[in-house]
Chain A
């Protein structure tokens, strides 16, 4: 094949070699720009796993919906950056440990990591002996922010909140395991006798409980993701920022927020089901906490914000180049092969064969294009392979007409006559003599065909005819349209996918136009 292609340059009157072609091509600025742009998209498609920051599947929620891109923060000096606010979430350094009430039965420990297989952790331990008195709150206060027992142990870590704005959403993630011994593990109600709590403690000393654990417990580390309610966020962060309505000064003296994690006995330990467990239980409870993370969301997330489903738009945008390029190139390759074969056969043999093939072309040209693609894609199922086939079915007609007209002009030339005279077969003449001479004119046609295929693919995806598991630019636009993205002011979900489609097809358009200028003899003479 490479032989044949090189032959075409040699046969051409204007170009002696490939380098001659490039010398001519370089003169067209938009052609060079198109090549650079194409290369850029190729790098994007190949390097997608490294460039993308998150799971690209359209349903992968990672943040609240319609967050703005992070770089929009330059217009918003008080912006809250969406990030991990806890310094040292994996507890590499010892946190502050404290007791409340009597420390007799409680202890703590911090283990610093010694290697990657040995993570850091914090142990909070409660060891109970029967009849050891505990200072219970009697009667228990329902919905209290404090535990049912005044004696307990906790550790706390402080984070700094510099923005003068509350976060939009906060996720606290805690990883812990519970090891119980004695009655705590043997008694079926042992899990009810203690709880692990998480508090937000502001700098005025107000405690707000945001999480308490429930049995069953396991000695295997498990993760809990706590999505704070608006009231929790108001209690924790509200004192550190000026009132958004009146502009009143913050009530808390410093911009520090403390997160406390504690282990405490419950009211069930004092009296449960007609029994007094504190008089009968012997044993210990150890809570091993290996991660405490506080992720605050502002109005901004990721390089390009989030979509209507809270997925990362940047990753989808990067992976979308794969679908567009694959479908654009493969559909054009398929339609070109069909178009060239039909064009060669029709042009070379003429007569009845030509008549039949050209009537098929006429027929395909009067069938409405996009509706037929829609019907076929819907019937066959919108997988990537089927979309390629559907686009190729309608794409070959133009190529075949072009090739046919070129072949009809070529086939009566002397060199074909002489080849036939020395007994060359039809196949040999077609592929060895006729095809190389019509190839140059084909290149521009192919490149412009890719543009059509890319635009068709994005149009079909916009109508919902796309592989539902794969991100695609047209689909991103469809999501933006369907969820009212831009009427909510989320312009980034509309602008960027469209810009990508435009620039990718623009790259092919520029290259195709330049190839046409350089290779098409009719245009070159001007």
Chain B
């Protein structure tokens, strides 16, 4: 089977998965209506208001949320059809809370999430690969054992708590000890008090970038450390596996020095599976980090899912679910293809 056939098969399969996710989403977020008979409109208007509204007005109100009052089975089919049409035309509806289009709300938060997740993943991947290669050259050594123990420790660490500790040390204690010399903001993505300065100053953009980086630093460290353990272990184990292969033995037998064997022959091969892992990571970037964003009150998608869920703002949660799932599916697809392109030994089956 050739590459072309493989891509076509994967694309069909990908499309089916997306359809499954879309259907699942529909039922997941109508679960309260299906099971308990409570619709979002009931939460918005009181019983008294409902009595004062005419049937037409009520229907219009429900229509706004893609619902039908007192649905029977045909209404459900109609609602499902409307939902399908909306999802595939990119119309995610209005947020119950703000009344704004969901897509606008999401787009407002997306850059923050991508910034936080992107930088922290980069830090984690770089550190993971670097230290992984360092210790894999000599497995079982003291350096290796202690690095693995640290990685296991990070694996067991609740990252949101680590973030709270960072906040406590760098945003509460160090500022008071050093008299404000070393100080990180306790919350937020940007300092609103700086807006006038940013507007007036000719270097406003620089000041804003600096302020965002200042706010970014602690959550980035928290997430970077949190992701590091996994990348490190993966890199180390891969490289140790590769170093037992026959072609490494051949390289050594040719009389190459150990560094050349490690970096030229070992690392290149060990990086291959790493590339797919990284591709998958970037697929889940949009996912955000709900817990860490909540701790640092970061204005991002992860925290937005959480707050919308607790405000029963279902169109938002539904839309974010959709977007995350579709990105993840695409990332999987890309990772598979990428692996094949990078490693010519792979056969499409």
Question: Binary interface profile of A, 363-387, with partner B (CB < 8 Å = 1, else 0)?
Answer: 1011110111011001100000000
A367 touches B17 (CB 8 A): no
Indicate if B269 sits at the interface (CB-CB under 8 A): no
Indicate if B114 sits at the interface (CB-CB under 8 A): no
Question: Binary interface profile of B, 156-194, with partner A (CB < 8 Å = 1, else 0)?
Answer: 111011101101100010000000000000100000000
Indicate if A398 sits at the interface (CB-CB under 8 A): no
Indicate if A487 sits at the interface (CB-CB under 8 A): yes
B21 touches A367 (CB 8 A): yes
**In whole Å, how far is A472's beta carbon from the nearest beta carbon of chain B?**
12
A375 touches B317 (CB 8 A): yes
Indicate if B155 sits at the interface (CB-CB under 8 A): yes
Residues of A within 8 A of B157 (CB): 502, 505
**In whole Å, how far is A54's beta carbon from the nearest beta carbon of chain B?**
24
Complex-state Cα separation, A370 to B305, whole angstroms:
10
**In whole Å, how far is B138's beta carbon from the nearest beta carbon of chain A?**
13
Interface centre among A363, A366, A374, A513 (most CB of B within 10 A): A366
Given the interface pairs A366-B17, A494-B164, the reply to whether A481 lies near B295 with Cβ below 8 Å is yes
**In whole Å, how far is B281's beta carbon from the nearest beta carbon of chain A?**
14
B17 touches A362 (CB 8 A): yes
B164 touches A498 (CB 8 A): yes
A451 touches B156 (CB 8 A): yes
**In whole Å, how far is A121's beta carbon from the nearest beta carbon of chain B?**
51
Given the interface pairs A367-B321, A526-B139, the reply to whether A481 lies near B153 with Cβ below 8 Å is no
Indicate if A137 sits at the interface (CB-CB under 8 A): no
Indicate if A315 sits at the interface (CB-CB under 8 A): no
A368 touches B309 (CB 8 A): no
Contact partner of A495 (CB less than 8 A), chosen from B165, B287, B324, B328, is B165
A371 touches B321 (CB 8 A): yes
Residues of B within 8 A of A508 (CB): 156
Give the number of residues in A that approach B within 8 Å (Cβ atoms).
Answer: 43
Residues of B within 8 A of A491 (CB): 168
B149 touches A30 (CB 8 A): yes
Residue in A closest to B139 when the chains form the complex, CB atoms: A526
A463 touches B290 (CB 8 A): yes
Given the interface pairs A366-B21, A371-B321, the reply to whether A486 lies near B167 with Cβ below 8 Å is yes
Complex-state Cα separation, A107 to B267, whole angstroms:
96
B168 touches A494 (CB 8 A): yes
Indicate if B244 sits at the interface (CB-CB under 8 A): yes
Indicate if A390 sits at the interface (CB-CB under 8 A): no
Indicate if A506 sits at the interface (CB-CB under 8 A): yes
B306 touches A513 (CB 8 A): no
The dominant DSSP class at the A interface is helix
**In whole Å, how far is A495's beta carbon from the nearest beta carbon of chain B?**
7
Residues of B within 8 A of A458 (CB): 158, 161
Given the interface pairs A370-B291, A378-B309, A509-B155, the reply to whether A494 lies near B165 with Cβ below 8 Å is yes
A526 touches B244 (CB 8 A): yes
B294 touches A463 (CB 8 A): yes
A502 touches B156 (CB 8 A): yes
Indicate if A444 sits at the interface (CB-CB under 8 A): no
Indicate if A343 sits at the interface (CB-CB under 8 A): no
Indicate if B20 sits at the interface (CB-CB under 8 A): yes
Complex-state Cα separation, A487 to B185, whole angstroms:
12
Indicate if B329 sits at the interface (CB-CB under 8 A): yes
**In whole Å, how far is B283's beta carbon from the nearest beta carbon of chain A?**
9
Residue in B closest to A505 when the chains form the complex, CB atoms: B156
Indicate if B235 sits at the interface (CB-CB under 8 A): no
- B-contacting residues, A431-464, CB 8 Å: 451, 455, 458-459, 462-464
B164 touches A481 (CB 8 A): yes
14 interchain pairs, CB-CB under 8 A: A359-B17, A368-B325, A370-B291, A374-B305, A379-B32, A451-B155, A463-B294, A480-B164, A486-B168, A487-B186, A501-B161, A502-B153, A510-B152, A526-B139
> Knowing that A379-B32, A498-B164 are A-B contacts, what are 5 other residue pairs whose CB atoms are under 8 Å apart, sorted by A's residue number?
A368-B284, A372-B321, A374-B305, A463-B306, A526-B240
A contact residues vs B (CB 8 Å cutoff) = 30, 359, 362-363, 365-368, 370-372, 374-375, 378-379, 451, 455, 458-459, 462-464, 474, 477, 480-481, 486-487, 489, 491, 494-495, 497-498, 501-502, 505-506, 508-510, 513, 526
